Structure 1
Amino acid sequence: MPAPLEEGETRSPGHHIELVDDNPSPKHEGETSPGLRNSKGWDGKLRVPPKNAVLANPEALSDPEYSDDEHIVPGEEVAADEDLLDGEPLDTDEIMCTHSRIQSINALQLKRFTKVARICLRQNLIQDIEGLSGVAGTLEDLDLYDNLISHISRAGLADLTGLTCLDLSFNKIKHIKHINHLQNLKDLFFVSNKISKIEGLEGLTKLRNLELGSNRIRELENLSPLTALEELWVAKNKVTELHGLGGLANLRLLSIQSNRIRDLSPLRDVPQLEELYISHNALESLTGLEQNTKLRVLDVSNNKVASLAGLGPLADLEELWASYNLVSDMADVERELADKKKLTTVYFEGNPLQLRSPALYRNKVRLTLPQVHQIDATFVKTS
Structure 2
Amino acid sequence: MTTSDNENTPPRISINLDDIKGHEGDSSPGGGTPKSSTGWDGKLRLEKKLELVNPEALSDPEYSDEEQVLSGETIEADEDLLDDYPLDTEEIDCVHARVSSVPLLRLERFTAVARLCLRQNTITEIEGFSCLAATLKELDLYDNLIAHIRGLDDLTNLTSLDLSFNKIKHIKKVNHLTNLTDIYFVQNKIGKIENLEGLTKLRNLELAANRIREIENLETLTGLEELWLGKNKITQISNIDSLQNLKILSIQSNRIRGITGLDNLPHLEELYISHNALTSLSGLEKVMGLRVLDVSNNQITSIKGLKHLEDLEEVWASYNQIGDIAEIEEELKERKKLNTVYFEGNPLQLRNPTLYRNKVRLTLPQVMQIDATFVRVS
TM-score by length of 1: 0.82
Counterpart in the other structure of 2:348: 353
Question: Partner amino acid for 1:101?
Answer: R
- Work out whether residues 146 and 167 of structure 2, in 8 Å CA contact, stay in contact via their aligned partners in 1: yes
* 1:341 Cα offset (Å): 0.8
Would you say the 8 A contact 2:270–2:291 is kept in 1? yes
In the alignment, which residue of structure 2 is the partner of 1:139?
136
| Contact 2:82–2:105 (CA under 8 A) maintained in structure 1 | yes
Specify which of 108, 114, 131 is matched with residue 111 of structure 2.
114
SS of the equivalent of 2:262 reads helix
Change (3 A) 1:133 1:46: farther
5 Å-filtered alignment, 1:99-248, equals 99-153=96-150, 156-248=151-243
Q: Contact 1:301–1:323 at 8 Å: present in 2 too?
A: yes
Question: One-letter code of the match for 2:302?
Answer: S
Amino acid at match of 2:301: A
Given that 2:238 and 2:260 are in contact with CA atoms closer than 8 Å, whether structure 1 keeps it comes out as no
Q: Distance in 2 between matches of 1:133 and 1:293?
A: 46
Instruction: Provide the C-alpha distance between the structure 2 equivalents of 1:26 and 1:174, rounded to a whole number of angstroms.
Output: 53
For 2:16, the equivalent position in structure 1 comes to: 27
CA drift of 1:49 comes to: 7.4
Which amino acid is the alignment partner of residue 117 of structure 1? Answer: A
In the alignment, residue 134 of structure 2 is paired with which amino acid?
G
Contact persistence 2:14–2:53 (CA under 8 A): no
Check 1:333–1:46 CA distance in 2 against 1; reply closer, same or farther (3 A cut): same
Shift of 1:46: 11
Contact between 1:192 and 1:214, CA under 8 Å: does it hold in 2?
yes
One-letter amino acid of the counterpart of residue 95, structure 2? T
Q: Does 1:279 align with 2:292?
A: no
Query: Relative to structure 1, is the Cα distance of residues 112 and 264 closer, same or farther in structure 2, using a 3 angstrom cutoff?
Result: same
Aligned: 1:367 with 2:356: no
Separation of aligned partners in 2, 1:309 and 1:99: 49
Q: Deviation per CA, 1:301-355, whole angstroms, max 9, x where unpaired?
A: 0000000111121111010000001111111101111111111111110111111
CA distance in 1 between counterparts of 2:76 and 2:350 reads 63
How many Å separate the matches in 1 of 2:66 and 2:95?
42
**Is the Cα contact below 8 Å between 1:307 and 1:326 reproduced in 2?**
yes
Mind listing any 5+ residue stretches in structure 1 that lack a counterpart?
1-7, 14-23, 55-72
Task: Tell me the secondary structure at the aligned position of residue 315 of structure 2.
Answer: strand
Tell me whether 183-192 or 268-277 shows the greater mean CA deviation: 268-277
Shift in Å, 1:99: 1.0
Q: State the secondary structure of the residue aligned to 1:268.
A: coil
The aligned counterpart of 1:269 is 264
Matched, 1:96 2:85: no
CA distance in 1: counterparts of 2:15 and 2:341, whole angstroms: 63
Q: Tell me if the contact between 2:164 and 2:186 (Cα under 8 Å) persists in the aligned partners.
A: yes
CA-to-aligned-CA distance 1:257-293 (integer Å, 9 cap, x gap): 0001112131112132100000000000001101001
Q: Which amino acid aligns with 2:372?
A: A
Asked if the contact 2:77–2:99 (Cα under 8 Å) also holds between the matched residues in 1, the reply is: no
Contact kept, 8 Å, 1:35 with 1:47, in 2: the verdict is no
Give ranges in structure 2 of 5+ residues lacking alignment. 7-12, 21-43
Note if contact 1:98-1:121 (Cα within 8 Å) is conserved in structure 2.
yes
AA at the equivalent of 1:255: S
When the two chains are superposed, the root-mean-square deviation of aligned CA atoms in Å is 3.1
Moved more, 267-276 or 124-133: 267-276
Write the distance in 1 (CA, Å) between the matches of 2:228 and 2:89: 33
- State the AA in 2 paired with 1:105: V
Larger Rg: 1
Tell me the number of residue pairs that the alignment of Structure 1 and Structure 2 aligns: 338
1:253 aligns with 2:257: no
Shift of 1:102: 1.0
Q: Is the 8 A contact 2:77 2:101 kept in 1?
A: no
AA at the equivalent of 1:282: A
Instruction: Trace 1:6-17 onto structure 2 (pairs within 5 A).
Output: none
* Alpha-carbon distance in structure 2 between the residues aligned to 1:127 and 1:26: 44
CA-CA distance at 1:206 after TM superposition: 0.4
Q: 1:327 aligned to 2:332?
A: no
| CA-to-aligned-CA distance 1:30-67 (integer Å, 9 cap, x gap) | 79x974899xxxx9x999976x978xxxxxxxxxxxxx
* Distance (Å, rounded) in 1 between the aligned partners of 2:74 and 2:248: 53
Q: Is the 2:367–2:376 contact (alpha carbons within 8 Å) kept by the matching residues of 1? A: no
Equivalents in 2 of 1:37, 1:117: separation in Å? Answer: 56
> Structure 1: how far apart are the matches of 2:53 and 2:212?
51
What's the % identity of the aligned pairs? 62
Shift of 1:88: 1.3
State the Cα deviation string for residues 170-201 of structure 1 (Å, max 9, x = none).
00000001000000001100000000000010
Q: Is the 8 A contact 1:290 1:312 kept in 2?
A: no
